[in-house]
Chain A
Amino acid sequence: MEQPTTAFFVRGPQPFTRLVFFSILSLVLMGVDARLHYLTEVRQGFMGLLHPLQVAANMPGYWYRQTVEYWQGHDAMLADNRRLRIVNLQQGVDLQRLRSMEEENMHLRQLLGAVQEIKQPAQLAEIMNVDRDPFTQRVVVNLGSRHGITTGQAVADGMGVIGQVTRTYPFSSEVTLVTDKSLAIPIQVERSGLRAIAFGHGRDNIIDLPYLPTNVDIQEGDVLVTSGIDGVYPPGLAVARVTSVERDSDLTFARIVCEPAAGIEQHRQVLLLKTPLVAEATPIPDTPAVTTPSGKAPAQTAKPKPSAPASATAAPAPSTPAVLPAPPANGGT
């Protein structure tokens, strides 16, 4: 085009010119996206365009499961049914106990004048897509802002916490898993009541418990539950189980490795819990200060390195059992 020699091969601008142009374009885009966050609406708009493709991509798996279910033997179904009935029976017994305990708990709270525990409604969503790069632990689920999903909602399954909604699109939303590096969860050790903050490791399906001293009271097999002081996760949900504790006296902190309690890579269905801050925005002026900063999105801004050891070691609180929402002290005013 420009030069007579290259006009013989109709190729437009030189490859290098194109490379420079598109590189600059993508670098600018990256900068704008990472620093300025202008592109959220653009992204949501385009996501609407891609949505049909995403739905279509889910269809083969869906059909496969349907046919497998259809052709699954009668016996397998019956066995499954029997097993589920037994589980149901056991859980029914537990549930009865739970009801009476809930009532008792409510009564005790009334006596204490403490804040009522907020029941969190939940929506069942299905995992549509798993993020393909091995660094980020993210999944896309099939409910979005049109279904009332907002960023910051906690996501759980039958066995424990899975993660948090970090981005919503009209018809789908993105869930960052607890194993992601950027997600931090305030937890409590069920056995000792110790409070700490758990961080995702980023890969290998591991959760870290950093910034705890080497003499910390944590053993292998300890169950970590959500402490509920963040106002995002309801208290008492299982987060992880401690698999190894390394106490090297040369190091300042113990190396504690946990594995997530929820079946993060096994399930297709997850529950999106309504955040209490979103569900009932007004009646929580009297909850302690912990809820205010973390209500936004701990996933994005969570780098509480200086404050983490302090808040983690500050309250070994053996007096409060793990299931109680942690700070009932100044609630009653």
Chain B
Amino acid sequence: MYTTKSRFIYLSLLLALFMSMLPWSGSGLMLRPDFVMVTLIFWLCRAPHLCNIGTAWIAGLLIDLATGGLFGANAFAYSLTAFFAVIYQRRLTLFNIPQLALFVGALLAVTQITQLVLRLFAGGSIPDWHYFLPSLTGTLLWIVLAVLSASGTAPTGAASNKRRS
């Protein structure tokens, strides 16, 4: 049961990587949510024993490879975000979906701010406000995912955790 589930996680991450590698351009590029990070957050809250900071780190490294960026920059941003997701994970069952969406939005912002800081160290310039639009679209994507998965199974992660253990 665990193996099929973890295989499912890796498949979904691969799918997210695939989505982010689609040839986006123009406003689509500006609005493109961070598919991999959204998927990671989804699994970090849902199945923290299978998807952890290490998973996030490897996913970030793959993103670094795919985009040709600085090796380890995205890996760092992702593992930092995963850390925040993991330390608050056990409290999340208390929240409803709008509150969780706020949390997810904050996590995505943490990723982007970390990426921004690393960029600024490398000599980039401060971008416009719409640099943070992907966080917003990412949150929307997460809401869609959460609603879809909730309609299929139990409302929050608590029930599914109980069922598994």
Residues in A lying within 8 Å of B, measured CB to CB: 9-12, 15-16, 18-19, 22-23, 25-30, 32-34, 39, 43, 46-47, 50, 53-54, 56-58, 60-61, 127-136, 138, 140, 167, 174, 181, 202-203, 265
Please choose the segment from B70-78, B101-109, B147-155 that sits at the chain A interface, where 4 or more of its residues have CB less than 8 A away.
Answer: B70-78
A43 CA to B69 CA in the complex, in Å?
11
Contact with A along B115-127 (1 / 0, CB 8 A): 1001100111101
Distance (whole angstroms) from the CB of B120 to the closest CB of chain A: 9
Count contacts on B: residues with CB < 8 A to the other chain: 48
Interface string of B1-41 (1 = CB under 8 A from A): 00000000000001001101111111001101000000000
For residue A56, which residue of chain B has the nearest CB?
Answer: B18
User: Which of chain B's residues 107-151 have a Cβ closer than 8 Å to chain A?
Assistant: 115, 118-119, 122-125, 127-128, 131
Instruction: Evaluate contact between A57 and B22: CB separation under 8 angstroms.
Output: yes
Partner of A43 from the list B23, B71, B118 (CB cut-off 8 Å) is B71
- Interface of chain B: mostly helix, strand, loop or mixed: helix
- 17 more contacts with CB within 8 A, not counting A22-B57, A57-B23, A132-B29, are A19-B83, A22-B53, A22-B79, A26-B75, A29-B75, A30-B76, A34-B70, A43-B68, A50-B62, A53-B18, A129-B21, A132-B24, A132-B67, A134-B127, A135-B124, A140-B68, A181-B123
Report B's interface with A, CB cutoff 8 A. 14, 17-18, 20-26, 29-30, 32, 48-49, 52-54, 57, 60-62, 65-73, 75-76, 79-80, 83, 86-87, 115, 118-119, 122-125, 127-128, 131
Q: Is the CB of A131 within 8 A of B68?
A: yes
Whether B75 and A136, one on each chain, are in contact in the complex, defined by CB atoms closer than 8 angstroms, is no
Q: Roughly how many angstroms separate A62 CA and B124 CA in the complex, as a whole number?
A: 33
Contact A26–B73 (Cβ < 8 Å): yes
Q: Are B65 and A265 in contact (CB under 8 A)?
A: no
5 A-B contacts, Cβ less than 8 Å apart? A23-B80, A26-B76, A29-B75, A33-B71, A127-B23
Q: What is the chain B residue whose CB lies nearest that of A126?
A: B23
Asked if residues B24 and A15 are in contact (CB atoms below 8 Å), the reply is no
Residues of A within 8 A of B17 (CB): 53
Q: Give A173's nearest chain B residue, CB to CB.
A: B68
Q: A33 contacts B86, CB within 8 Å?
A: no
Q: What residues of chain A lie closer than 8 Å to B23, measured between beta carbons?
A: 57-58, 61, 127-130
